[in-house]
Chains A and B, each alone.
Chain A
Amino acid sequence: MMLLVTSGVAPYLAQAESILDVGDTFIVPLLLKLAFVLGIFFVVPLVAGYLEHKAMARMQHRRGPVEAGPFGTLQLVADGIKFIQKEDLIPSAADKWVFAIAPGVALVPAMLALLVIPFGPGVFALDLELGLFYVLAASSVSVLGVLMGGWSSANKFSLFGGLRAGGQLIAYELPLILAAIAVAVQAGTLSLVGIVEAQAEFMLFGTGINLWFVIPQLLGFGIFFVAALAELSRPPFDMPIGDSELVFGYMTEYSGIKYAMYMLTEYAGMVTMSALMVVLYLGGWQLLPGVPLPGCEGAGGLFDCDVTGTLLGVVVTFGKIMLLVFVMVWLRVAYPRLREDQLQRIAWQVMVPLALLNLALVTIAKVVY
């Protein structure tokens, strides 16, 4: 619906043109963009999952998947086929409709968030003027799906898992948004493409040294990373599915394809959040600060690219995304799970004040310089 409404009206769109805007017809770019978003949504999370399998295995002195496909690369595809074949169990006391819809309510916002994220010069479906705000709004809806699943399962463990997830997602959404606002303040725009451009043009005060936003906003980046981990319920913030106490939290009663949808939401969320961090703090598709991409002519050497430059930009972006995914996996292996009260205390007594401090500092610096 967003697509239908937006393509006709100019005010929704920022200036940047997508490479998928081909021809004069309405329907061709629309289909291309849908295919682009769905393709990324169903393929990149599998790559992230494979990376997690292999990296975790190495850190635990195992080999990880080796049988399915070369080096076990098709393990998650095989898992997907297995999930589709499984029996779709619904507990007899469960609220059937809510139980069935809940994984979709969690999944669709994760899919929608990918609509505006740029993966390279011109490689995005839409460059909304409100892109950053749109991603945060879309991801805030996922909580509903988790709460619905936790409640409708008619199971104590699920209910507690849903409650914990709800409390955690509400608590960590605030520092996440506050950290993102600080980036928007520094960049002077909410468009994700605009933020990449602003980073390419941001110079250290009074000099010609180009810096990514991660340097002046190291605190903000830390807050965003931790809050993103908590938003995704990734270890060490996986209290909602803490298997030593709650079986598997809100996912306890789910099996088959619905369970797979919850898992896909988590991995797609990892990719989305990593991509967002790349765009907000790590210079988007810029190789190194101050280094223009070969074949590009626009602002900061990052726009109006030829085929080589575009492909290189996409490779750089996905490289950075996978690097961040790897760090998330690393943290999962390295740290034990937090206790519920520690988790809430960190959110409200540490993260929120720090995020506010970061926002104040960035705003003052923006006004002074």
Chain B
Amino acid sequence: MSTLDEKAQAGMDDHAAHGGDGKASGAGGFIILFFIIGFAASMVLGWVIFPKLLYSQKQQPLNFNHALHVEEVGEGCQACHYFREDGSFSGIPKLAQCTECHEEPMGDTEDEAIFVEQYVTKDREVPWLSYSRQPDCVFFSHAAHVIGAKMDCVVCHGHIGESEVSRPYEYNRLTGYSRDIWGKNIAGFKRNSWDRMKMDDCAACHKEADAIHDVSVQTQRGHCYVCHK
């Protein structure tokens, strides 16, 4: 910052050296005004416009009512999101799993009709947009967290299980990552544990849970391969 001040000072001196013209004090007011305008404009740009530009939105192919499904199927989340025999996590269900119940339309909502007509009858997978997809270099083990550490789904996924409509999927235009991963709040503030899932968030939680494995020679913390592939 000192460099800026010095330059500003140099500019003043420069002006004074040319003799001035008596309007200096009035110009000083304008100077502050312009400073404020510039400041305000860039703040608006940075806080309001930029986030809108940075993130793009997509709608899910059809609305999915989690609340209704949880109520209907019982068993909670694992009725549809379960562990496979090899210990991997199934994630978003495939069409085959849906058609176990939805061979024929169930109920008469518009989304149900779209689902059955567009996907079930045509045997086409629904191109769901995953809010929680980590980048390709990340190995995330649901088994370690859900079975090993007995964590609740809500800790990372929030209350999606209670949602009645699918909110728009927001993704970062530059990185292509979901906003759920990349940070809901543009300033980086987290209100809930599920507001952001970047590496630091993983690390913070691991530290809190005292799950740091202190086996890394480089960092004396967890080893990179714990979460990377």
| Interaction A to B | no
Which A residues contact B (CB, under 8 angstroms)? none
